[in-house]
Amino acid sequence: MHILLTGAAGFIGSHVAERLLARGDQVLGLDSLNDYYDPALKRARLQRLQGQPGFRFVQCDLADRAGMADVFAGPRFDRVIHLAAQAGVRYSITHPHAYLDANLTGFGHILEGCRTQQVDHLVYASSSSVYGGNTKMPFAETDAVDHPVSLYAASKKANELMAHAYSHLYRFPTTGLRFFTVYGPWGRPDMAYHLFTRAILAGEPIAVFNHGDMQRDFTYIDDITEGVLRVLDKPAPLSSAGAAPYRVFNIGNSEPVQLLDFIACIERALGKTAIKQLLPMQAGDVPATYASTQALQDWVGFVPSTPLAQGIARFVHWYCGYYGV
């Protein structure tokens, strides 16, 4: 297939691109290569893709209306995987316009492009953050998600609403994936496990929020990538009854881990003990995430299979090699 993949130089996007190319798809990778975190890491991911048969790259900002129109003015894409976004809960508190531009205006440009090209299927990144302060566990797609606790979460919920409107009006399938704390090699350096590893190796204290009383549904990158591809290959059917060809799924490990246990796993992989600085909860954060993944399992048979210890060991091996420590 001919696929547009946004966020191709990102953590999840670069792994998805590798899998698409390995199975023979033609991929146009799009990324702005912005400086939210070190662009050198983004370029290093991209370098692994460039030169592979079937891959082309274009640098473009999602909020650039004319630039995005040019992307969709070329040959028709069979399907679009939209993973580019302004990420990060805490950053959204201090840099709200980055989220308005990328996650709202930018997503609108993606939807318009898919409409004009009559794309067969749009798969896009949502987030577990949409569940906000929900206390019922595990989080299920049928739960109300009307009380976000960060602008980032609100922007992702808005994406789901926008996608539904386009699926309803223009009859093209859209599928949103609510990612739950993705980790692994080539991961984002602003993520906790990346920050923990750097600090532990340097002998510096790590910030442990809510005094460690937190749980996360950590999901290894290879499992996430497998889920994305399975969903890509199974769009919602067009219904003669008029229902929108629209789906939203949780994609997580469905096994939440205590933050202190997660840190202990990193300590074992590094062979070093962390200096823990216990701090209060940060604004916009939530104490726990826990995915019900039954709907995704029923739809595409997706079940994560990577144990946490194995995934962390792979990340640490990559980290030490990439950073030369």
pLDDT per residue over 211-261, tens digit each?
888 888 899 999 999 999 999 999 999 876 678 999 999 999 888 899 999
Task: Give the residue numbers annotated as catalytic, written as ranges.
Answer: 152
Query: What percentage of the chain exceeds 70 in pLDDT?
Result: 99
Q: What is the mean pLDDT of residues 18-39?
A: 97
Among 135-139, 219-223, 286-290, name the most confident range.
219-223
Domain boundaries in the chain?
2-180+221-251, 192-215+254-290+305-323
Structure token pair of residue 281: 């909860």
Q: What is the mean pLDDT of residues 130-152?
A: 91
Helix (H) or strand (E) holding 309: helix 308-323
Report the C-alpha gap between 58 and 8 in whole angstroms.
10
Structure token pair of residue 259: 């933050």
Instruction: Give the strand pairing for 2-6 and 79-82.
Output: parallel
Residue 180: CB partners within 8 Å, gap ≥ 6?
Answer: 128, 216, 217, 218, 219, 250, 251, 252, 253, 289, 291
Report the C-alpha gap between 125 and 152 in whole angstroms.
12
DSSP state string for 44-89: HHHHHHTTSTTEEEEE--TT-HHHHHHHHHSSPPSEEEE------T
The CATH number given to 2-180+221-251 is 3.40.50.720
Contact (Cβ atoms closer than 8 angstroms) between residue 279 and residue 212: no
Q: Give start and end residues of each alpha helix (H) in 203-258.
A: 221-232
Assign a CATH topology to domain 192-215+254-290+305-323: UDP-galactose 4-epimerase; domain 1 (3.90.25)
* Tokens 């009307």 found at: 146
Residue 243 three-state SS: coil
Q: What is the mean pLDDT of residues 108-126?
A: 97
Residue 281 confidence (pLDDT): 82
